[in-house]
């Protein structure tokens, strides 16, 4: 209830009119945001297995994790654009393209789709295929470099953050 009130005030002060209608709209938007972000423990999982003291993830933490994922994605976009700008003016021998199979955790359809889209949207990479069991992602790199480092970047960068937000 307190979180909904804080969200209502933030809404009213930043977006809505500063009156009762703005406060009511903010309360409705805050309540809806909290309902969308709150997840109960999955069936068969104890609170200890989830690693969360209350069993369900705090909705504000989920929002923070989503913002963190977005900021990480933007930083990867900037780094990749700089690298692609360099490769476009560098001699052709500077680029070492390659295809790499990245092993994945057990992902849901939504998580696998988000991961593939984020990898594809990052300049210099293209998701080619996801295995039917969603255990491998096939990625084309414009400049492969160290394969182990590329796998780690996708697993620790994108995959881990997506799983944190979605579960």
Domain total of the chain: 2
Return the pLDDT at 50: 45
Judge if 67 and 22 occupy the same domain: no
CB atoms within 10 A of CB 125: 22
Q: What is the DSSP letter of 137?
A: E
In Å, how far from its chain's centre is CA 110? Answer: 11
Q: Which residue has the higher pLDDT, 2 or 54?
A: 2
pTM of the predicted protein model: 0.68
Return the pLDDT at 1: 61
Judge if 24 and 64 occupy the same domain: no
Is the backbone of residue 77 left (phi > 0), alpha (psi -120 to 50) or beta? Answer: alpha
Please report where in the chains the tokens 């300049």 appear, as a residue.
123
Asked if pLDDT for residue 16 goes beyond 80, the answer is: no
Per residue in 58-108, pLDDT (tens digit) is: 777 877 888 899 999 999 999 999 999 999 999 988 889 999 999 999 888
**3-state class percentages of the chain: helix first, strand second, coil last, to nearest 5:** 60, 10, 25
**Domain residues for 14?**
2-37
């Amino acid at each position: 209830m307190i979180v909904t009130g804080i969200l209502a005030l933030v809404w009213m002060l930043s977006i809505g009119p500063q009156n009762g209608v703005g406060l009511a709209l903010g309360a409705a938007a805050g309540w809806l945001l909290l309902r969308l972000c709150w997840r109960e423990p999955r069936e068969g999982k104890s609170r200890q297995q989830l690693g969360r003291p209350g069993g369900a993830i705090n909705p504000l933490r989920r929002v923070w994790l989503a913002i963190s994922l977005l900021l990480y994605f933007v930083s990867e976009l900037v780094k990749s654009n700089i690298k692609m700008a360099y490769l476009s003016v560098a001699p052709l021998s500077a680029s070492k393209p390659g295809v790499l199979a990245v092993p994945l955790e057990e992902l849901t359809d939504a998580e696998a789709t988000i991961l593939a889209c984020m990898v594809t949207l990052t300049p210099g990479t293209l998701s080619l295929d996801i295995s039917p069991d969603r255990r491998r992602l096939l990625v084309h790199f414009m400049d492969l470099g160290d394969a182990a480092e590329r796998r780690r970047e996708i697993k620790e960068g994108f995959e881990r953050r997506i799983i944190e937000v979605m579960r």
